[in-house]
Amino acid sequence: MITIRDEIAVDIPAREALLDRCLGERRTAKSSERLREGRLPAEGLALTAERDGEVLATVRLWHVEANGVPALLLGPLAVKPELQGEGLGKAMMREALWRAACRGHGAVILVGDAPYYGRFGFGTALTRELAMPGPVERERFLAIELRHGALDGARGVLVASGAAIPEAFDPSSSRRHRPALSMRSPAWKAPSRLTARFCAHTTLSTIFTPEPRSYRE
């Protein structure tokens, strides 16, 4: 059984190796990396899929803003090549979007393949007034609103707005395994009434349905 859970410090070497394998060592030269470097992921939104201690997939979301309007930047999403096409990437996306909505975030932006991310509701309409801090293919610059109107007023170049990585950051401080959020966890926050109404009236409603945090092959 594959379990999707919070990332912990001991995942980092395997995560980086997986990203290199899936995206290539030049992945750090991409424009999206300018918004991630030196920053911590958004709280509760760094996820790992693992089986018997092996890291099989990863996805993280990061705080960004444009013209003072907050959003999340999703990525990179990577799945072990041998498991690609088996639905694990979809499960990671659904978990990430569900958690983002539960934590009150209003919008998610990413750079990726439109045919793949379009199935989750991402499109180019919401990024027409936005720009990355570097070159980007407009057809791959996508966004979704988890709350209607969350990107109203967003324009210009995205800037990183998440917490900076402390200079004396000690990964060992987070070695203790943290279980995935459940609706009974104190850290879990129910979606606002507006978010719930939005979810109920879109074809994406299944994305935000609570599910077991395990993925059966």
All structural domains of the chain, each given as residue ranges with its CATH number in brackets, are: 2-162+188-211 (3.40.630.30)
Please write the tens of the pLDDT for every residue from 109-152. Answer: 999 999 999 999 999 999 999 999 999 999 999 999 999 999 99
C-beta separation of 12 from 55 below 8 A? no
CA 33/CA 29 separation, integer angstroms: 7
Does 92 have pLDDT greater than 50?
yes
User: Which amino acid, one-letter code, is at 31?
Assistant: S
CA 199/CA 209 separation, integer angstroms: 9
Pairing assessment for the beta strands 130-131 and 156-157 based on DSSP bridges: parallel
Please write the tens of the pLDDT for every residue from 14-29. Answer: 999 999 999 887 776 6
Which distant-in-sequence residues (6+ apart) come within 8 Å of 156 by Cβ? 66, 67, 129, 130, 131
pLDDT at 24: 81
Please write the tens of the pLDDT for every residue from 156-215. Answer: 999 999 999 987 554 433 433 344 433 333 333 444 443 443 343 333 333 333 343 565
Instruction: Give the C-alpha distances (Å, rounded to integers) separating 188 from 79, 83, 148, 185, 204.
Output: 26, 30, 21, 5, 21
Please write the tens of the pLDDT for every residue from 60-85. Answer: 999 999 999 999 999 999 999 999 99
CA 148/CA 125 separation, integer angstroms: 14
CA 153/CA 168 separation, integer angstroms: 37
Q: For residue 146, which of 101, 84, 95 has the smallest C-alpha distance?
A: 101
pLDDT at 66: 98
User: Which amino acid, one-letter code, is at 159?
Assistant: V
Instruction: Give the C-alpha distances (Å, rounded to integers) separating 103 from 45, 80, 208.
Output: 9, 28, 12
